[in-house]
Chain A
Amino acid sequence: MSKILMNTLFGAAVVMFAFVASAGAEPAKPECLAGAKPGGGFDLTCRLAADALLKTKQISAPMAVTYMEGGVGAVAYNHVASKRSKDANLITAASSGSALLLAQGKFGHYDEGAVRWLGAIGADYGVLVVAADSPYKTLGELVEAYKANPADFAIAGGGAVGSQDWMKGSLLAKAAGQDPKQMRYVALEGGGAVLTALEGGHVKVGSGDAAEMVKHHLAGKIRILAVMAPARLPGDLADVPTAREQGFNIDWPVWRGFYVGKEVSDADYDWWVQAFKKAMDTPEFAREREARGLFEFKLFGKDFDERVRADVAQFKILAKEAGM
């Protein structure tokens, strides 16, 4: 008799628990997966979320940051899509670079519909840089010189062909009326190597991101000719004109955000969206974001999902034009 009662109670408890879980409660063991080594952009995105959510009391237990490197997020994407598709505890860091790789079919068999895109919490912007002693002071001068003598312009970026730095280079080539397929692109490892190549005079132009280049710009080692943003960036880069101001319609926003598994319930998905939205309204969040060199960028739920799909579609065209 008592055994039956126990079983009933236990069963009820399980049902209750399942109900509570489906109503989108705070995840018991929040985890943020960074698809790279510690220290990169995904790690930064995860840490921003972990710190901000905890400090604004959206989560009560600290969020664990875990790492799964491989293929600039490809291994993590496959892992979430195939093995942790139902796990509501887990968010995974992504960036517009993820959309670019998806557009090139570099995330294995999966396309952009294999996960649920959650939202973006900040952005960085592409920049075009030259060495401090370079004769070019504006983007216009650079483009003119490029047009006049395209064979003389090697462009260095901190990523492989197909990466965001490469895309920025090909946008510059296009702006100079050149065939991006003929671009002399030098694939280096990271922004530090781009800096060295510029200083040593081995290349004429470098492409990178504002957050990593700004300190070298301020130190006088390089000159940022243009930020690839729709409007001027606040703070240290307020004096640097956008590419648009200089007459070139080339933007390169780098949003940083998250996705969750495909089979995560609407309720759990909404819980994460609400938690992030509430956290991002606080001054603490702005401080944490600025400390990481990211600019304001907020896009959630359906809007973000549409943005990712639009990005992938646009990148497919751009990558094809550039010869991928």
Chain B
Amino acid sequence: MNLDYLWQGFAVALTGQNLLVGFVGCFIGTLVGALPAIGPINGIALLLPIAYTMGLPAESTMILLAAIYCGAEYGGRISSILLNVPGDAGAVMTAMDGYPMAKQGRAGEALALSGLSSFVGGMLGSLGLALFAPLLSRLAVGFGPAEYFVLMIFAFATLGSMVGSQPVKTLIGCALGLMLATIGLDATSGAYRFTFDQPELSDGIEFVVLVIGLFSISEALIILENQGRGMTVIRELGRMTARMSDIVRCTGATIRSSVIGFVVGVLPGTGASVSSAISYTTEKRLSDTEGTFGKGDVRGLAAPEAANNATACGAFVPMLTLGVPGSGTTAVMLGALMLYNIQPGPMLLTEHPEIVGGLVASLFVGNVILLALNLPLVQIFARVLTVPNWLLVPGILVLSVVGVYSSHSSVFAVFLMMGIGMAGWLLRKAGFDMAPIILGFVLGRVMEVNLRNALAISGGEISILFSSTICIVLWIMAAAVTILPAYLSRRARVRTLQPT
């Protein structure tokens, strides 16, 4: 197997600038993950325009965003353990055994141990990514407009499982994203659509504007709204290192969960919340002979943490090799590539090995940095949980406005972002998730353009969509992926709900 791209990637990731960028990303990511209010997607949305305006090259920006993403998976455990409030979706299961441990005065041990299992999960996940990416990329040459269109169908099929509990709202959100993507110049007819004679809208809604509006602005509004909801932080951390006996006890659970996490991450549409639930229930079934799970069992703590970090790495596989985002966060990262005029897709590894390699290599480097950050500095991160909202909310808003204005130098974009933020806030109050909107937006444009280009080539013959082997395989995968994750998450849910 040809791993040249990875060695080339290490050369990219280990330059001074990229090491610094990775370190900053890891630090911010851990903070973002630890704060229950904001998750990895908010962190990425806020930092993307700033990185772009600072003139960071594409690979450095991707390293920064990836470091934030992975850092957030580490950071999420802190609030799960100390607050019993998961810092992000992937850390929900961490609270099951982490919080009981903290209540027993073993918070420091829980943080150290979960930091270690996060590291193992992240490293194994990165290894999987490094081996998988070139395999899938070999398919690249055969992709024409028809194949891309079916690929997008496949990507949309995976959406059904993303917010499986609310299929209708997911579909509506997705449709909204698709509709927003139609604004602007229509390449196939040359006509302006829904621009209302505003030249600012002639290229459509800018991705950064949409992402910051939907995630950051609406998040700030939600935090303001939830003012005064009390939370108690556990401040007695106790012993700050993990016991050797506990580490040995967790080894099996950590490795099994890393594998589960990676595989689930590769399946687009199933994120860290699913993988941590599956790994937790798997471990419970395998090893819970004394009924200690849920009462502070170290294995119940290690399993979901290893899994959610491995999932974060696995999610890069479809993103880097096919240009299909596996989660809302990777969708934002795909948008970031497009911002740099880099078309994500099967050709990415061939055309930009420095970006793919640099990103994969930076995951290895980042995990080492994160381990180093998270073991000794965990007390500092724990203190972040007490940041008052009067500081947090204006901070988010200032970063949003500065970010959007600096990358577009247009007041129109700032107002558009505010409007989208208000709309996003209303949608969230109505129980909508924002991720399907972003996915619909990102994938919608690619899907429309490729369908129409495919039909332009065939002269309107629909058969072109079924004409190649790649197309047919993708249609079959789309059908499979609609059914499989729903089945998996139902199994996971049934088991978590079983009385202990």
Residues of A that sit less than 8 Å from B by CB: 37, 39, 66-71, 74-75, 77-78, 104, 106-109, 151, 154, 159-163, 166, 184-190, 192-193, 196-197, 199-203, 324
Contacts and interface: CB of A to CB of B under 8 A. Distances in A.
Interface string B185-208: 111111010000101101100000
Contacts of A197: 144-145
B462 to A, nearest CB: 15
Nearest to A37: B341
12 contacts: A37-B341, A70-B202, A106-B202, A160-B187, A160-B188, A160-B190, A161-B187, A186-B145, A189-B343, A202-B457, A203-B457, A324-B190
Contact of B341 (A77, A185, A190, A324): A190
Given A75-B200, A106-B192, A108-B197, A200 B457 contact: no
B456 A186 contact: yes
A78 B190 contact: no
B141 interface: yes
Contacts of A75: 199-200, 202, 410
Contacts of B457: 154, 184, 186, 202-203
B347 interface: yes
A187 B187 contact: yes
B144 A202 contact: yes
B186 A160 contact: yes
A192 B351 contact: yes
Interface residues of B, number: 29
A5 to B, nearest CB: 44
A196 B347 CA distance: 9
A201 B186 CA distance: 25
A71 B185 contact: yes
Contacts of B409: 66-68
**Residue of B186, B187, B188 with most chain A CB atoms under a 10 A cut-off:** B187
A184 B199 contact: no
Contacts of B141: 199-200
Contacts of A67: 409
**Residue of A159, A184, A201 with most chain B CB atoms under a 10 A cut-off:** A184
B188 A161 contact: yes
B143 interface: yes
Given A160-B185, A160-B190, A187-B449, A202 B203 contact: no
B453 A200 contact: no
A74 B199 contact: yes
B459 interface: yes
A281 B197 CA distance: 42
B154 to A, nearest CB: 19
Given A69-B408, A161-B187, 5 more contacts: A161-B188, A162-B190, A184-B456, A187-B188, A200-B142
Contact of B453 (A74, A151, A162, A188): A188
**Residue of B186, B351, B456 with most chain A CB atoms under a 10 A cut-off:** B456
Contacts of B408: 69
Identify the 7 closest CB pairs spanning chains A and B, nearest first: A162-B190, A71-B202, A202-B144, A161-B190, A160-B187, A187-B187, A154-B457
Interface of B: 141-145, 185-190, 192, 197, 199-200, 202-203, 341, 343, 347, 351, 408-410, 449, 453, 456-457, 459
A70 B341 contact: no
Contacts of A193: 343
A166 B190 contact: yes
B144 A70 contact: no
Contacts of A68: 409-410
A69 B188 contact: no
**Residue of B141, B143, B199 with most chain A CB atoms under a 10 A cut-off:** B199
Contacts of B187: 159-161, 187
A163 B189 CA distance: 11
A77 to B, nearest CB: 8
B53 to A, nearest CB: 11
A77 B142 CA distance: 41
**Residue of B143, B190, B197, B410 with most chain A CB atoms under a 10 A cut-off:** B190
B396 to A, nearest CB: 26
A39 B200 contact: no
Contacts of A71: 185, 199, 202-203
Given A70-B199, A75-B202, A187-B188, A200 B144 contact: yes
A70 B206 CA distance: 10
Contacts of A77: 199
Contacts of B143: 200
B466 to A, nearest CB: 16
Contacts of A166: 190
Contacts of A188: 453
A108 B199 contact: yes
A151 B343 contact: no
A161 B191 CA distance: 8
B456 A154 contact: yes
A201 B351 CA distance: 18
Contacts of A189: 343
